Amino acid sequence: MDATKEEYGAPGSVDQPESINDVWKITWTYPGAHKFTFYWSTSRAEPCHRSGESIHADGSIRSYPNEPDGFRKLKWGVSAASLQDLHFMLTDENGTKYYKRKNEKPELGEAKLKVLLYGFWKGKFYTIYARFEGSRNWEIIKGSLFEKFGEGRKLQRGTSFGWKGGKTLIIADYNEISAEGSLSMYSDKIQNEIDASLNKAIKRSVDAGF
């Protein structure tokens, strides 16, 4: 954030911080159509990534290398009803339903996972969540992410990293004390829809005389 101030000066406006699926975000807007969003893990103090969302004439948004638009062969937004191999596991407070895929080994390359879940919001593929144990699995996952997507932004002491583009947010985290880690990937577009839904719920609550 300090580097952004050095580059652009003080922002014209600053949005209120928002917490989304264990990630805090805050947006700075500058005169001249420059807009940057910063992301943190809720348990960290340092920003994990500056989105680099400069609004260009062609509408393009800066991204990281090889940014995906989904996970494996599933594109963000695909309907859960179109998939025949989902086994329901749980629903979170946002209404996202999580599933395992039948007959799928919980692996990411050579990294062994404890769990690999696929999340659908209003029936649309929105996120994946993977949990693993052990430093070897962490090094494989971190190394694979760096190799494919470039070096992520550090969250804290090199054990948490984030990537933010125009389509997909990635958060990789590892706790050296418990030797447990996680990998999450989110659709930026659907996350915006969830944010909008929450804002509408807040407005209805206020209008109802909260």
Q: Is the pLDDT of residue 145 over 90?
A: yes
The pLDDT value given to residue 87? 96
Mean pLDDT of 80-87: 96
The pLDDT value given to residue 60? 41
The pLDDT value given to residue 132? 97
Token duo for residue 140: 């494989």
The pLDDT value given to residue 30? 62
Which DSSP string do the residues of 74-111 spell out, in sequence order?
A: EETT-BGGG-S-EEEEEE-TT--EEEEETT--SEETTE
Alpha-carbon dihedral sign for residues 110, 107, 124, 73: positive
Mean pLDDT of 78-82: 97
Dist CA 47 CA 154 (whole Å): 8
Please answer whether residues 4 and 28 qualify as being in contact, where contact means their C-beta atoms are separated by less than 8 angstroms: yes
For residue 137, give the H/E element and its range: helix 135-149
pLDDT tens digits, one per residue of 168-194? 999 999 999 999 999 999 999 998 898
Q: Is the pLDDT of residue 51 over 70?
A: no
Q: Is the pLDDT of residue 61 over 70?
A: no
The maximal CA–CA distance of the chain, rounded, in angstroms, is 55
Band (203; pLDDT cuts 50, 70, 90): confident
The pLDDT value given to residue 160? 86
Mean pLDDT of 11-38: 62
For 28-42, 136-150, 156-170, which range has the lowest pLDDT when averaged over its residues?
28-42
pTM (2 decimals)? 0.70
Q: Is the pLDDT of residue 101 over 80?
A: yes
94 vs 12: which has the higher pLDDT: 94
The pLDDT value given to residue 84? 93
Q: What domains are defined for the chain?
A: 73-193 (3.40.1000)
45 vs 112: which has the higher pLDDT: 112
Dist CA 39 CA 26 (whole Å): 7
* Region of residue 21 (left: phi > 0; alpha: psi -120 to 50; beta: else): left
Task: From 162, 187, 181, select the one nearest 23 (Cα to Cα).
Answer: 162
